[in-house]
């Protein structure tokens, strides 16, 4: 049996992939990405087998969803800590006194909503977050869905020639244009500078060992080591390719729904199609490692 470690999470993924679940229910949304998890109340202490199986369900499905989870802020934070140390967002507002609890909110007065284009959270960090755990406590009856896409599937679908061409390429991920001024309506003062990092265009997931495409429309600004026009054309192709509906799922929120996604192999995009209604919740984000 091969065991992998990622943050606080230990997953025996290779030997147990496809093994039955004993402590949770897992219902796949598509064969490629997404699963709804049942049989678990995240407001109560979890048994080690439940934590291990939630981690395995995440590794196998890239994003997992929970319904009817009425968690207090401390319970949401405690659930995140089961999977590693928590990441603090470089720009977004958080609940007063709880920097780990990022506020996600759009309403009648908003000029933007979080995650309105395809991205992997905070990929501009030198060590971008491993996972994000969003709980929604107010949402419209229709609209405000979140779309998720598998970057394993996006990579696998490339030709062998393209995979060889991408091997070893690095790209710039820049938070400056994304974050400057973005949270002024929450009263957040801009910082002097925002993170900027260089990451491989294809990364290997530390838990599953699979390769995933790692460029996204919000943060990736250029591919290094190529003439500018060639790099820009390649990036434009990769971004469009990553967003194919062939490897997407779409989640419809209800009050007290939660989603836990793996930023290392999935991208997501939130739909702001519900103005002037309100959608709000909180996100806990788990630290990750330098992409390899
Ligand atoms: C985000 O974390 O990017 C926002 C996702 C969402 O609001 O659905």
Q: What is the DSSP secondary-structure string of 181-243? A: TTTGGGTPPPPS---EEEEESEEE-TTT--EEE---TTTEEEETTS-HHHHHHHHHHHHHHHT
State if residue 114 touches ligand 1 by the CB under 6 angstroms criterion.
yes
Tell me: pLDDT of 9 over 60. Answer: no
Express each pLDDT in 133-170 by its tens digit.
999 999 999 999 999 999 999 999 999 999 999 999 99
Q: Is 254 a catalytic residue?
A: no
Q: Is the pLDDT reported for residue 274 higher than 80?
A: yes
Q: Is the separation of the CB atoms in 248 and 148 below 8 Å?
A: yes
Q: Largest Cα–Cα distance in the chain?
A: 54
pLDDT (0 to 100) of residue 248: 98
Among the listed residues 135, 210, 268, 279, the single catalytic one is 268
Which ligand 1 atom is at minimum distance from the Cα of 121? Answer: 3
CATH architecture, range 2-286: 4-Layer Sandwich (3.60)
Ligand 1 contacts CB of residue 285 (under 6 A): no
> Would you state the pLDDT for residue 2?
32
Residue 283 near ligand 1, beta carbon < 6 Å: yes
Smallest CA-to-CA distance from 7 within 278, 287, 292 is with: 287
How much is the pTM?
0.93
Q: Report the C-alpha dihedral over residues 68, 74, 76, 82, rounded to 10 degrees.
A: -130
| Per-residue confidence (pLDDT) for residue 17, from 0 to 100 | 56
* Rounded average pLDDT over 254-261: 98
What are the pLDDT digits (tens) for 58-76?
999 999 999 999 999 999 9
Strands 35-38 and 63-66 come out as parallel
pLDDT tens profile 75-120: 999 999 999 999 999 999 999 999 999 999 999 999 999 999 999 9
Of 56, 87, 89, 121, the catalytic one is: 121
- Per-residue b or e along 144-162, where b marks 16 or more CB atoms closer than 10 Å to that residue's CB: bebbbbbbbbbbeebeeee
Which residue, judged by its Cα, is nearest atom 1 of ligand 1? 115
C-alpha to C-alpha distance for 171 and 219, rounded to whole angstroms: 10
């Amino acid at each position: 049996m091969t065991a992998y470690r990622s943050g606080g999470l230990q997953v025996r993924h290779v030997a147990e992939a496809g093994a039955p679940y004993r402590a949770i229910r897992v219902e796949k949304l598509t064969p490629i990405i997404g699963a709804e998890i049942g049989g678990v109340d995240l407001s109560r202490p979890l048994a080690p087998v439940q934590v291990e199986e939630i981690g395995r369900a995440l590794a196998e499905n890239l994003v997992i969803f929970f319904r009817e989870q009425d968690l207090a802020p401390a319970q949401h934070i405690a659930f995140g800590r089961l999977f590693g140390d928590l990441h603090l967002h470089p720009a977004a507002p958080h609940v007063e006194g709880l920097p780990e609890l990022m506020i996600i909110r759009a309403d009648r007065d908003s000029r933007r909503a979080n995650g309105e284009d395809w991205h992997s959270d905070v990929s501009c960090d030198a060590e971008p977050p491993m996972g994000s755990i969003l709980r929604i406590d107010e949402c419209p009856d229709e609209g405000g869905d979140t779309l998720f896409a598998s970057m394993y599937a996006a990579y696998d679908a490339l030709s062998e020639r393209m995979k060889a061409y991408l091997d070893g390429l690095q790209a710039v991920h820049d938070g400056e244009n994304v974050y400057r001024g973005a949270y002024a309506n929450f009263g957040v003062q801009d910082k002097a500078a925002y993170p900027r990092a260089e990451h491989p265009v294809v990364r290997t997931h530390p838990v599953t060992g699979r390769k995933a495409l790692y460029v996204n429309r919000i943060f990736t600004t250029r591919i290094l080591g190529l003439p500018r026009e060639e790099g820009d054309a390649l990036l434009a192709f990769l971004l469009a390719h990553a967003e194919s509906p062939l490897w997407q799922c779409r989640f419809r929120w209800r009050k007290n729904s939660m989603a836990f996604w793996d930023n290392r192999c999935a991208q997501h995009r939130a739909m702001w199609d519900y103005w002037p209604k309100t959608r709000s919740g909180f996100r806990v984000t788990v630290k990750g490692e330098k992409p390899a």
